[in-house]
Structure 1
Amino acid sequence: MSDVESRLVAVRLRRALRLATLLVAAGTLYGLTLPWWLSTAPEDAGGARLVWAFLLLTIVAAVTGVLLLRARLYGGTRWVLVATVVTAAVVAGTQLPYGVAGWFALVLLLDRGRIATAFLLAYSAARLVQTVVAGQDVTGMVVLTALVLGFQLPVVAAGTILERVADQAAAARRSREDLRTAEVVAEQVHESRLSRFAQLSSTTVPLLEDLASGAADLSDGRVRARYAVEAAKLRRLFAESDETADPLWHELTACVTLAERRGVALHFAVWGDRPTPPLPVRRAMTEVVLRVTSVAVSEARVTLLGGPEHVSAGVVTQVPSELVPTIADAVEGVPLAVTQVVEGTKVWVEVTWRVPD
């Protein structure tokens, strides 16, 4: 169940509790107050005040019932109704049986537990003061107050528990989702590490083993070129895990800057607002460029350009004639257009990816 669904369930349960409380309030008004008023039918000002209080509470009951059925009991309307209940209680004074105004206020304030409790206690204290001032039976009023509050306060507690249960259910669901997300991320990281290790185990690891055993002939330019290529791949793997707005540029930079450490004058030019290719495409594109820059002699010009529908990476440099790289296997199975021009020791390579239709 989502947070929204949990909240909707809580709202529906609270509305049901409110409707039940409204029935209790209407029952006390029409089942107790009205028969008592009709039987006594006072002619003095107190009777008139009771009539006004009865009419005000009747209006509150009708409006509240309609708003509850339409699920619109919120905002300023609720507080206007609360003010009407207070007005009815003040107008009637001790003529209104105790507890009637409290039930109506409880309907309106059920989702505001502390405010509802404060209202009930304040109303009870005010009625006790009125009873003392009017010289009526204080002991009976105290007993009646305890009995009525014994019914009303548990209703407040029920509304508070509904809110708390909904919040706890939402928090538990968020916790489960966070745990599942963490598990998915951990699995993805693990798979990524396995994939990287698989790439290194077939190319880099054998070279490192040869280097450790002394079998590598570093005087051979081709051997040095292989080590340079694998070193660039390692830097690319680290760059792939970085968060950046332009992954291709970031990974390409990580690959070609190794040429600078060998003394190659590197010129890197970037133009255009380019799309971001998927990871396999980026690896193939950088693979083409790093194979060329890894054997560059003195100067290399790298370009990264494109438009809304395509991106191209290219390199122009001079390489020893015996070290002209092959790039066909680098783009095998990847939807890339590759152009390679070799004139003596000068090599120009460009690789382009277009956004699929």
Structure 2
Amino acid sequence: MSDTAEEVTRAQLGHGLRIAALLVATAIALGLGSANLLSRLDSHVSPSTQLIAFAALAAVLAGEATLLVLGRAWGRSRWLAIAVVLAASALSYTTLPEGRTSTSADWIFGAANWVGLVVLLDRPLRTAALFLLAHGLVALLNLILLTDVSRADLARFATGSVSVLGFPLCLAVVASVLGGLSTAAATSRREIERVRVAEAVAAETHRRRRQRFTELSATTVPLLEGLADGSLRPGDPVVQRSCAIEAARMRRLFAETDTVANPLLHELRHCIDVADRKGVVVELDARGRWPAPPVAVRRDLTEAVVVVLATAASRARVTVVGSADLVSVSVVADSGEVDVPTPVTPGVGVEALNNGNTVWMEAQWQPAS
């Protein structure tokens, strides 16, 4: 969203600059330029050639106006437009009265520069500078090659070049600076957002760690403290069973933050891994497709597996069957009699059956409820 806003702001700024440059170029090239041209049209060797050059500049400005209305840029056609501007400049100088370069009769000297700048306003500064240099070079070559140049003519050309080339160059510099400021502002904003995201991630990570410690402190921490102070014996089967249950719960807790396609199966595999490490052969069978249950629901569904596998002697089978209306997690193992866990989430029910050393336990969840 922020990148989109920056692009919109940058586009609006560029659009405004293009409008301002077009207005300035139109006022100078078509306004003052036409006035100078018409007032001295008869003094030119070929008035029609001068009118053709004037029409070429007007066509380029009309093209810029059309692109502005359509909200588009010049693209590759900009170089054709620049070629038209330089060609119009050269064409005008071929029929300019001798010795009149950079005078009031030389209307195109102060007109073509603004027209070309309009086309190159969104390009790097060096591109606009090269164009203005080429435009001045066309006038200088006409002065040197086609006329009997004097020191006064060169001085007049140098004086006129200060404003003819300097003012458009100043506008190009302003456009370049504004473009650089826009880019720097966008970069700074992205950096600020990156830092904010990093801080938010760090805060969320810390919150999750504290939440994990709180969840483990009720059962795991007392067990570890009992083993540490000697009040609980590692050889006691009850203690071993409690350790297996807490180990499975911890692995499940760590797996809850993983980004996977099926979090229920992912957490079940982590719970089963504890039994696998004890040498219990566990089969996992999943059938159907079901919506991803919330974390609290997944804990209730997997708790039955955790409790049964903690005392499984040699074998167990875990089955997951699901649909859009019902998700069932069942486990059968040679675990003997076990305590049936009480679910804390509404909509989750647990059932158990014992047959000698074999126990079957099933947890069901109805998403609709």
Alignment TM-score, normalising by the size of structure 1:
0.89
Say which is worse superposed, 182-191 or 231-240, in terms of deviation.
Answer: 231-240
Give the drift of 1:6.
2.9
Q: Is 2:328–2:363's contact at 8 Å kept on the other side of the alignment?
A: yes
Deviations 1:206-261 (A, max 9, x none): 11111112111445433321121111112222323334333222221111222223
Provide closer, same or farther for how the CA distance between residues 333 and 281 of structure 1 changes in structure 2, counting only shifts above 3 A: closer
Instruction: State percent identity of aligned pairs.
Output: 37
- In the alignment, is residue 132 of structure 1 matched against residue 144 of structure 2? yes
Partner of 2:17: 17
Deviations 1:43-74 (A, max 9, x none): 66432211111122222333323432443343
Equivalent-residue separation in structure 2 for 1:165 and 1:148 (angstroms): 27
- In the alignment, is residue 121 of structure 1 matched against residue 133 of structure 2? yes
Partner of 2:104: none
Partner of 1:281: 297
Partner of 1:26: 26
Q: Is 1:248–1:277's contact at 8 Å kept on the other side of the alignment?
A: yes
Match of 1:266 among 272, 279, 282: 282
Partner of 2:173: 157
Give the drift of 1:101.
0.9
Equivalent-residue separation in structure 2 for 1:148 and 1:11 (angstroms): 29
Partner of 2:357: 345
- In the alignment, is residue 325 of structure 1 matched against residue 333 of structure 2? no
Partner of 2:110: 99
Equivalent-residue separation in structure 2 for 1:219 and 1:36 (angstroms): 108
- Indicate the SS of the match to 1:342: strand
Partner of 2:257: 241
Give the drift of 1:38.
2.4
Match of 2:217 among 184, 198, 201: 201
Name stretches of at least 5 consecutive residues in structure 1 with no aligned partner. none
Equivalent-residue separation in structure 2 for 1:30 and 1:301 (angstroms): 89
Give the drift of 1:187.
1.6
- Indicate the SS of the match to 1:301: strand
Partner of 1:112: 123
Name stretches of at least 5 consecutive residues in structure 2 with no aligned partner. 97-106
Equivalent-residue separation in structure 2 for 1:8 and 1:298 (angstroms): 66
Q: Is 1:274–1:306's contact at 8 Å kept on the other side of the alignment?
A: yes
The size of the alignment, in residue pairs, is 353
Provide closer, same or farther for how the CA distance between residues 260 and 22 of structure 1 changes in structure 2, counting only shifts above 3 A: closer
- Indicate the SS of the match to 1:105: helix
Equivalent-residue separation in structure 2 for 1:215 and 1:112 (angstroms): 79
- Indicate the SS of the match to 1:42: helix
Q: Is 1:268–1:302's contact at 8 Å kept on the other side of the alignment?
A: yes
Alignment TM-score, normalising by the size of structure 2:
0.87
Provide closer, same or farther for how the CA distance between residues 297 and 143 of structure 1 changes in structure 2, counting only shifts above 3 A: same
Say which is worse superposed, 346-355 or 49-58, in terms of deviation.
Answer: 346-355
- Indicate the SS of the match to 2:42: coil
Deviations 1:147-188 (A, max 9, x none): 222111111111112221221222222122222211221121
Which residues in structure 2 correspond to 1:46-65 (within 5 Å)? 46-65=46-65
Partner of 2:206: 190
Q: Is 1:50–1:92's contact at 8 Å kept on the other side of the alignment?
A: yes
Q: Is 2:317–2:333's contact at 8 Å kept on the other side of the alignment?
A: yes
Q: Is 1:284–1:334's contact at 8 Å kept on the other side of the alignment?
A: no
- Kindly report the root-mean-square deviation, in angstroms, between the aligned alpha carbons of the 2 structures: 2.4
- In the alignment, is residue 224 of structure 1 matched against residue 240 of structure 2? yes
Q: Is 2:296–2:345's contact at 8 Å kept on the other side of the alignment?
A: no
Partner of 1:87: 87
Provide closer, same or farther for how the CA distance between residues 52 and 288 of structure 1 changes in structure 2, counting only shifts above 3 A: same
Equivalent-residue separation in structure 2 for 1:206 and 1:77 (angstroms): 77
Equivalent-residue separation in structure 2 for 1:220 and 1:23 (angstroms): 92
Structure 2 counterpart of 1:158, which letter?
V
